[in-house]
Structure 1
């Protein structure tokens, strides 16, 4: 691509606005909240899938002896409830991390056109030749 000497129309790109509806201290934490929330949500989903397979395996292994996990015995109840705490904990953390990711996304969306101090380009155009030192 060649650089053109002619001036580009000013209205072709939206001008960033100064300030935003979101305080700057919240906007700083938005991107890490989205990343951490998404990562924790994925881990919780994987954990829930593993617990589902372990539960299914325990039920299948227990039913090999001719018994059912739906029986009213204490052993069947213990098998049914063996991963209840992990399931509830994973669901709670999944919901909290999804809310954190959603809140961070909303903050990033509302703050998308705000210019931080020192982020202005000052009219400079940097292309590959400038970066490569040619």
Structure 2
């Protein structure tokens, strides 16, 4: 196994790959290897779908769900999702508009899923 990552921290077209810190993800690939990273990313995708996308989540459940994703998303380089989860969790505690929080969670989750699809395709 090479100690170089197959993920170039600089996208070939100069554009960002969505709400994702590519350099952080490249570090994870260097530590874990491509295959283990792909498994981890597939599991992460499932967690996003399970925890953020269901309709009608009560604020207390949403708060628990986003709490669970905050650090995992940050460690994998999905910093936008991590920050969104932290803000949503705070909003749930502050009794903010539940519909708005659910919308924010779904939007953050979908953005992360889009970025995840792009990076998974680059790794495969």
TM-score normalised according to structure 2 size: 0.37
Larger RCO (alpha carbons 8 Å, 6+ apart): 1
Name which one, 1 or 2, has greater alpha-carbon Rg. 1
Bigger fraction of residues in helix: 2
TM-score normalised according to structure 1 size: 0.35
